[in-house]
Structure 1
Amino acid sequence: MEFNSFEEVMSYYKQYAKKCEFGVMTRRIEKGEDGNVRYATLGCARGGKACNKILNVARPRPTRKTKCKAKINDLKVDGKFKLTTVHNIHNHGLNPIKSCFFRCNREVSDFVKRILDTNDLADIWMNKSFKSLVVRAGGFENLPFFEKDCRSYINKARHLRLGKCGVGVLQEYFLRMRYKNPGFFTLMDLDDNGRLNNVFWADPCSRAGYQYFCDMTTFDTTYLTNRYGMPFAPFVGVNHHGQSILLGARSISSEDMETFVWLF
């Protein structure tokens, strides 16, 4: 069989797997110098060796890995993706009832996304939104997704809401603060689409306090904003009265090394 793109191969194999009642996972992908997929291996989701990642041997976490060998290999030849290897034999039973709940088959439709967005803007808790969807569908078994899939979508949607308009409002606020006091310092990091990645700010009082009380500074990333899920981390020092004082603050989109290097 031949396909025009790797996306077509993935879509076809997922449809085949859903009909034959097993899950799909990507085992291997090789890309060429141009960054496009050149070779890929798609297989059963129960393939691979079972390993217990929980250190507590008294309460091991169950695993569904059975070293299943069912897979396909596709290779890009002359602009077409050709299937070079096909194994359709599974070493485990297939469950037609649970096939729609495999990770590769779970999908939140556009209609459900609109409901989740509306409820989230109205400050309705996710568990109540999901229960309303269950009642509308007539039971959990009639929904092709879980509550955690809805939470994942809302977390991504909250990040996108703070887009160009949100950055503009924040910049206007910082401009007003700098106009009132030139010592107000801000620094913003935007992505290629103009969305906010990271922001740092310090008012004149905090900057002056750092000049005197910089002997010990704490840096905490355990605070999270409820709306956008961007970790908020204050720089806090201690004055000569033993009181905590704010030396600076920042919000970041992720907690990786590149972000922390930019911040410090």
Structure 2
Amino acid sequence: MEQDFVPRVELPHLQDNTTQYCDQSAQEGSPTLVSQIDDTDIWVGMSFKSAECVKAHYRQYAMKKGFGMKVRNSKKGTDGQIKYNMFACVWEGNYVSSLPNDLKTNPTRKIQCPAKICTSVHKDGLWYINTFNDDHCHDLSPGKSRMFEGNRRISMHVKRTIQINDDAGVRFNKSFRSLVQEAGGHENLPFVERDIRNFVRQERKRLGKDGDGKALREYFSRMQQLNSNFFYEIDLDDDFHVRNVFWADARSRASYEYFGDVISFDTTYLTNKYDMPFAPFVGVNHQGQSILLGCGLLSAEDTESFTWLFRSWLSCMYGKSPQGIVTDQCKAMKKAIQLVFPDARHRWCLWHIMKKIPEKFKSFLEYKSIKCDMKECVYESLTERDSKMHGMLL
């Protein structure tokens, strides 16, 4: 009789690369543990208790075979829940980087690898494998598969250990060495030192640790009680930690009504213990003075964070979009501006442009001459009105 193997939650005493399975027969009312196995077989019709179990199982299979895996595609049903997933080899696709491999830290190339599995949830609530393709068009590396980005992971026990060490002031390299010694060597760890650094940085950026997030919400609430025109929004993650923050007082909202034609947005300020970029919205009043039009704290400088912040700011300013916005040359910021402020004129900050002159031209013999010509072109060029007046005088 054919049996369905359903991955269960990993037990704390087991190693990270070992998963327990249970045999769920039709005659039995509940699953029964039948074995503890290290190898992971896959076949069409295999069932799992959840989408996460499918993903974990295919990751174990990928590590055993020697390739990296990724989520290629997902589809939701009418209820908004995911009903279909496709997992593929990381070499799937046809993208080739324009940069030569010797200039990249991690050179990659996608060569349309066909290996994949397609899964969907059925009426019985279980996830079934509908399609399974195990043909790869590249060499497999079982000994190195645990280091592929899609296969690396940090267990809850290790995360807790890292957090305790970080709170005690232990450095990253010392924490990593202790974990290596505990595991019996680098080859037994499913992560690298960089993963620890990234995890700690993300944790530091989360407002919510030590009650800071709660204190922030209470402070904003008090400010809104004192002045109903005080505006704030807080973006929370799945663990209810503060991810992004925006706020603006009554003066900022009133000033925007008169001086909101052009604004400047900058994220070059990192002066808080969370290493969260401080992002002020700045305008200029009729006296040429800078005025604050709102502030934000971001957990990451990506398109998603910028989009959330811009939409919060736009909601604060009653949906009135600026005519122009000046920023640095950030691609994620540019994309977010196109999504939230499609009619605004986006220009790059002059200071950021001029800062790159030494970087781009310092190697030239005529660098000083080039620098003077660039400054003259930028700072001493005629305006449109001056140009017309100059033409009339001639």
TM over 0.5: yes
Aligned residue among 115, 120, 123 for 1:78: 123
Aligned residue among 67, 81, 96 for 2:112: 67
Secondary structure of the 1:40 match is strand
C-alpha distance in 2, partners of 1:132/1:43? 34
Letter in 1 for 2:53: E
Q: How many angstroms does 1:117 deviate by? A: 1.0
C-alpha distance in 2, partners of 1:57/1:158? 33
Show the counterpart of 2:231: 187
Q: How many angstroms does 1:98 deviate by? A: 0.5
Give the 5 Å matches for 1:33-72: 33-54=78-99, 59=103, 62-72=107-117
The alpha-carbon distance between structure 1 residues 222 and 125, as it changes in their structure 2 partners (threshold 3 A), is: farther
C-alpha distance in 2, partners of 1:207/1:42? 47
Indicate conservation of the 8 Å contact 2:249/2:294, yes or no: yes
Show the counterpart of 2:332: none
Aligned-residue identity in percent: 41
Q: How many angstroms does 1:148 deviate by? A: 2.6
Show the counterpart of 1:260: 310
Indicate conservation of the 8 Å contact 2:277/2:298, yes or no: yes
Q: Using CA pairs below 8 Å that are at least 6 residues apart, which structure has the higher relative contact order?
A: 1
Higher mean displacement: 252-261 or 28-37? 252-261
C-alpha distance in 1, partners of 2:103/2:142? 29
Show the counterpart of 1:24: 69
Show the counterpart of 1:166: 212
Secondary structure of the 2:279 match is strand
Matched, 1:100 2:150: no
Aligned residue among 198, 207, 224 for 2:245: 198
Q: How many angstroms does 1:232 deviate by? A: 0.5
The alpha-carbon distance between structure 1 residues 52 and 235, as it changes in their structure 2 partners (threshold 3 A), is: closer
The alpha-carbon distance between structure 1 residues 161 and 208, as it changes in their structure 2 partners (threshold 3 A), is: closer
The alpha-carbon distance between structure 1 residues 147 and 202, as it changes in their structure 2 partners (threshold 3 A), is: farther
1:31-69, Cα deviation, whole Å (9 max, x unpaired): 211122333322222222241143x79847732433222
The alpha-carbon distance between structure 1 residues 246 and 123, as it changes in their structure 2 partners (threshold 3 A), is: farther
Indicate conservation of the 8 Å contact 1:162/1:228, yes or no: no
Matched, 1:146 2:192: yes
TM-score by length of structure 2 reads 0.52
The alpha-carbon distance between structure 1 residues 202 and 58, as it changes in their structure 2 partners (threshold 3 A), is: same
C-alpha distance in 1, partners of 2:246/2:162? 28
Q: How many angstroms does 1:156 deviate by? A: 3.3
Higher mean displacement: 245-254 or 37-46? 245-254
Aligned residue among 217, 222, 226 for 2:268: 222
Give the 5 Å matches for 1:107-118: 107-118=153-164
Secondary structure of the 1:162 match is strand
TM-score by length of structure 1 reads 0.73
The alpha-carbon distance between structure 1 residues 123 and 235, as it changes in their structure 2 partners (threshold 3 A), is: farther
1:6-39, Cα deviation, whole Å (9 max, x unpaired): 2332222222222222222222222211122333
Letter in 2 for 1:198: V
Show the counterpart of 2:35: none
Secondary structure of the 2:211 match is helix
1:218-258, Cα deviation, whole Å (9 max, x unpaired): 43212235533432123557899999787764324453223
Indicate conservation of the 8 Å contact 2:246/2:312, yes or no: no
Letter in 2 for 1:38: K
Indicate conservation of the 8 Å contact 2:207/2:213, yes or no: no
C-alpha distance in 2, partners of 1:25/1:103? 9
Q: How many angstroms does 1:99 deviate by? A: 1.7
Number of positions where the alignment pairs a residue of Structure 1 with one of Structure 2: 260
Matched, 1:155 2:201: yes
Indicate conservation of the 8 Å contact 1:214/1:237, yes or no: yes
Letter in 1 for 2:116: K
C-alpha distance in 2, partners of 1:165/1:126? 24
